[in-house]
Copies of this chain bind each other. A is one copy, B any other.
Amino acid sequence: MHEATLTIGQLADRSGVAPSALRYYERLGLIHAARTGGNQRRYARTELRRVAFIRISQQIGVSLDEIREALDSLPAGRTPTPEDWAALSLAWRDRLDERIRLLGKLRDDLDGCIGCGCLSLQRCTLYNPGDSLAGEGPGARLMLPRD
């Protein structure tokens, strides 16, 4: 036990992420694995941290593509230090704050509109595209021009 590397099943159990998702992440270049003679994946324990970072980032609302970019910015060659991870986390911090701010504004506006019952597209700050949370989900969705 406590081997140097993890099988995909072990990584799945420890991270709470399905094996199929881990393979998918690998295809996208988010995580990496060595291979045994028999072509099975063996993960370094540091991959656990990458997976954790991925899932946390998703909760913040970052796309896998952006997460990949972020992970790519980690120093190549050496194992990332806690400071490296902290730097990445800090990068999301602003996004998170912005999301919270926008949702807060949405709530306030909604309160206002509950008061007046308006829901008027024109007057109500609720319906202000320039300020939208657009790009929230995936899909061919972008309709409100995203400045």
Contacts and interface: CB of A to CB of B under 8 A. Distances in A.
A96 B103 contact: yes
Number of copies: 2
Which secondary structure dominates chain A's binding surface? helix
A50 to B, nearest CB: 9
A107 B113 contact: no
Interface string A86-116: 1001101100110110011011001101111
A107 B96 contact: yes
> What size tier do the contact residues of chain A reach?
35 or more
Interface of A: 14-18, 21, 48-49, 51-53, 55-56, 58-61, 81-83, 85-86, 89-90, 92-93, 96-97, 99-100, 103-104, 106-107, 110-111, 113-122, 124, 126-127, 129, 132-133, 136-139, 143-144
